[in-house]
Structure 1
Amino acid sequence: MIKRFLIAIIALVIVAGGIIGFNLFMSQLMTNIFANMKAPPVPVSVSEVTAGSWEPGIEAIGTASAARGTDLAVEAAGIVREIRFKANDTVQKGQVLVQIDDRQERADLASAKAALDLAETALKRARELREKGVSAVSALDSAEAAALEARAAVAKIEATLSTKQLTAPFDGTVGIPQIETGAFVAAGTPYATLQDRSHMRVDFALTEQQAALVKPGMVVNLTSEAGDMALEGTISGIEPKIDPNSRLVTMRAEVPNAEGGLTPGQFLHVRVALPVEENIIALPQTVVTASLYGDSVFVVREVTPEGADEPQLQAKQVFIKVGRHAGERVEILEGLSVGDQVVNAGQNKLTSGAQVFIDNSQSLVEPAPAAEN
């Protein structure tokens, strides 16, 4: 009985040992297979690093306003007799826009002109009599004074009449009427806005350091918030003092607006173009990978691994130092040299040292020698 029990135990140990040994053998075999297995090459698209022209610029946000624009107001109180414009009408300088009731002033003017005619006749008669020596000098002086007073009375009433006829001070586009026919309006009541949109101004602010780089006459590129409009202007004015509250310097650019794309009050992206620099290395921003360790790119280089007969293409992660940004490109200060092959598509599939092959058909960016804006 004991003999059979021992034989069973020995058989069980042999079977268990065989199973364990087989599992250890298979595990080691799989480890060796995966250790010697090479990952297939990863397809990447590359761009050659070149040095070229770089147009630096200063970015800001500006507000558009008309070169000539004002809120029109009533000069003298009265009843509105006629409104001679509609919203968004294009008006000419001197065109009558609003007529205030002036019947009383016209009646006063007729009376003043009749008094002037009488004074002029009396003056003429006094001069004739004085020439004949039959009147005193004081009579001529009185006649001349009366004539002057009559002329002044006519001029005063004509000036009052002119304030009842409201005209456009310059060519432009008139806004929505803010008064109604038949309404009584007081002096100073605004009745519309007038904007000359053929020529616009854009005001924006820069820091003290940025303002030191800007001079009158520099080119300014403007784009709308939606990006559907692009215009060009020039710096026309720089505020001679720094705002003590914001520590910013106000700039003004003159912008032709013949097509009427700009509207007063519109927000715009402003870029002041600085002098062009040569021999600058720049890359699309999508090529650069940012991380906690810094900015980096993948560079494709030809290497010959130990024991290999032929060279292979490998992607190496290279840390770089970036500088200024301009549009979709970024300046590279350190880390790359002219002629390097930089991966511009497929970086997310790469690790440093990965074997790759070049397939530029999947490129997401156009190769460019330098940043041009």
Structure 2
Amino acid sequence: MYKRLIIAIVLLGIVGGGIVWFKYFRDDMIAQFLGGMVPPPTPVTTETLESVTWQPGIEAVGTALSARGVDLAIESSGMVEDVLFAGNDEIKEGQRLVQINSASELAALEAAKAALNVAVADANRAKTLAGRGVGAANTVESAEAQVESVRAQLAQLQTQLDQKLLTAPFDGVIGIPRVEVGQYVSAGMIFATLQDLSNMRVDFSVPEQQIGDLTLGGTITVATEVGGFSATGTIIAVEPRVDANSRMVLVRAEVQNPSGQLYPGQFLRVRIDLPQEDGVIAVPQTAVSSTLYGDTIYVLRAGEAAEEYTAEQVFVTIGRRSGGRIEVVDGLQAGDQIVTSGQNRLTPGARVKIDNSVKIDAVSTNEPATEAPETEAPAEAAPAAQE
């Protein structure tokens, strides 16, 4: 019996030892197999840096305003007798727009004219009698004062009558009528808007750090988000005060609008061009990766095999932005070959190969771009920033 127990224990030890040996043997073989595998190079798009002429500028968003634009209001209450315009009519200065019922004012004016005739006749009669020595001097003075009083009353009534007829204060395009014939209106009620669209103004704000770059008469470029309108303008005023809440300063520019495509209240993108600078290193914004440790760009170094490179992660100091590109102040130099897309799959020292079939600049300049390969990171639209 003891012999059988010993044999069973020996067999059990052999089986257990074999299982343990097989486990370590398998893990060793897997490690050797994986250790011999070399991942294929990661495809990336690249760009060779060159010194460029940089066109710095200040970018902002603004609102279009008409150089002359008002809400036309009723001056005197009454019943609307006639509306003499239609929406979007081209209006000339002095053109009649709205007629308010003025029957009572006309009657009062006629009565005042009759009273004036009587007063003038009385004054003439008093002067004649005084000249003959049968009239008192104070009678003449009273008669002349009565004439002046009636004339003042006549002028007041004429003013009230004029307020019943509303005319255009300047040339422009009138809006949709807000009153109808037969409607009772009160003083101060707006009946239409009048806008001179030939000359437009643009109000926008810039950071206080950029005040020194603003000059009266400086040139700006404005563009709409829709419609494709673009025009140049001139800075005509800078608010002599910085807003304490936003730390921004208000700027106003004037823009010509002969085509009438720009409307008051429209959203505009504004750019103020500053003097050009030579010898600037600028890279696509897609090439820069930002982390808590700083901004980095992958630079290609020659690898062991032909047409293969290794990626080196370089910390850089970035500066101003312009369109889809960003200035590199420190960390790169002309001649460096950088990765512009695909860096999301890279690690320092990774093997890469160049695939420039996709033009990243086409995305940043709103030009049609070819379809990106599967390994490429999508280009993110860069936010508008002050330069």
- Say yes or no: TM over 0.5: yes
For 1:149 and 1:11, locate their aligned partners in 2 and report how far apart those are by CA, in whole Å. 140
With 281-290 and 140-149 compared, the bigger mean Cα shift is at 140-149
Deviation readout 1:344-372 (Å, 9 max, x if unpaired) = 2222222211112211114433499xxxx
Deviation readout 1:201-256 (Å, 9 max, x if unpaired) = 12223332222221112233334456854443221101223345554322111122
1:1-373 alignment to 2 at 5 Å?
2=2, 6=6, 9-10=9-10, 12-107=12-107, 109=109, 157-224=157-224, 229-244=229-244, 246-304=246-304, 312-366=308-362
**Change beyond 3 A, Cα 1:157–1:341:** same
Deviation readout 1:297-324 (Å, 9 max, x if unpaired) = 22111044xxx8x784111222211112
Give me the CA root mean square deviation. Answer: 4.0
For 1:264 and 1:143, locate their aligned partners in 2 and report how far apart those are by CA, in whole Å. 57
Name the amino acid aligned to 1:315.
A
**Change beyond 3 A, Cα 1:245–1:354:** closer
Deviation readout 1:39-78 (Å, 9 max, x if unpaired) = 1122221111122122223333333221101122222333
Secondary structure of the residue aligned to 1:169 is coil
Residue 115 of structure 1, CA deviation: 7.5
For 1:337 and 1:244, locate their aligned partners in 2 and report how far apart those are by CA, in whole Å. 41
For 1:357 and 1:245, locate their aligned partners in 2 and report how far apart those are by CA, in whole Å. 51
Secondary structure of the residue aligned to 2:314 is strand
For 1:318 and 1:367, locate their aligned partners in 2 and report how far apart those are by CA, in whole Å. 25
For 2:165 and 2:307, locate their aligned partners in 1 and report how far apart those are by CA, in whole Å. 90
- Stretches of structure 1 lacking an aligned partner (at least 5 in a row): none
For 1:335 and 1:242, locate their aligned partners in 2 and report how far apart those are by CA, in whole Å. 36
For 1:367 and 1:177, locate their aligned partners in 2 and report how far apart those are by CA, in whole Å. 46
For 1:241 and 1:359, locate their aligned partners in 2 and report how far apart those are by CA, in whole Å. 52
- Stretches of structure 2 lacking an aligned partner (at least 5 in a row): 365-386
Secondary structure of the residue aligned to 1:196 is strand
Is contact 1:217–1:234 with CA below 8 Å preserved after alignment?
A: yes
With 332-341 and 153-162 compared, the bigger mean Cα shift is at 153-162
Name the amino acid aligned to 2:192.
A
Give the structure 1 partner of residue 383 of structure 2.
none
For 1:80 and 1:62, locate their aligned partners in 2 and report how far apart those are by CA, in whole Å. 39
For 1:120 and 1:50, locate their aligned partners in 2 and report how far apart those are by CA, in whole Å. 93
**Change beyond 3 A, Cα 1:268–1:312:** closer
Deviation readout 1:15-59 (Å, 9 max, x if unpaired) = 544454344334323322322322112222111112212222333
Name the amino acid aligned to 1:240.
P
Residue 281 of structure 1, CA deviation: 1.4
With 227-236 and 313-322 compared, the bigger mean Cα shift is at 227-236
Secondary structure of the residue aligned to 1:298 is strand
Identity %: 46
For 2:307 and 2:195, locate their aligned partners in 1 and report how far apart those are by CA, in whole Å. 71
Is contact 2:216–2:235 with CA below 8 Å preserved after alignment?
A: yes
Residue-pair matches, total: 362
For 2:145 and 2:230, locate their aligned partners in 1 and report how far apart those are by CA, in whole Å. 66
For 2:261 and 2:239, locate their aligned partners in 1 and report how far apart those are by CA, in whole Å. 27
Is contact 1:302–1:314 with CA below 8 Å preserved after alignment?
A: yes
Residue 154 of structure 1, CA deviation: 6.0
Secondary structure of the residue aligned to 2:44 is strand
Name the amino acid aligned to 2:322.
A
**Change beyond 3 A, Cα 1:357–1:142:** same
**Change beyond 3 A, Cα 1:70–1:311:** closer
For 2:307 and 2:264, locate their aligned partners in 1 and report how far apart those are by CA, in whole Å. 64
Residue 99 of structure 1, CA deviation: 0.9
Name the amino acid aligned to 2:45.
S
For 2:363 and 2:239, locate their aligned partners in 1 and report how far apart those are by CA, in whole Å. 41
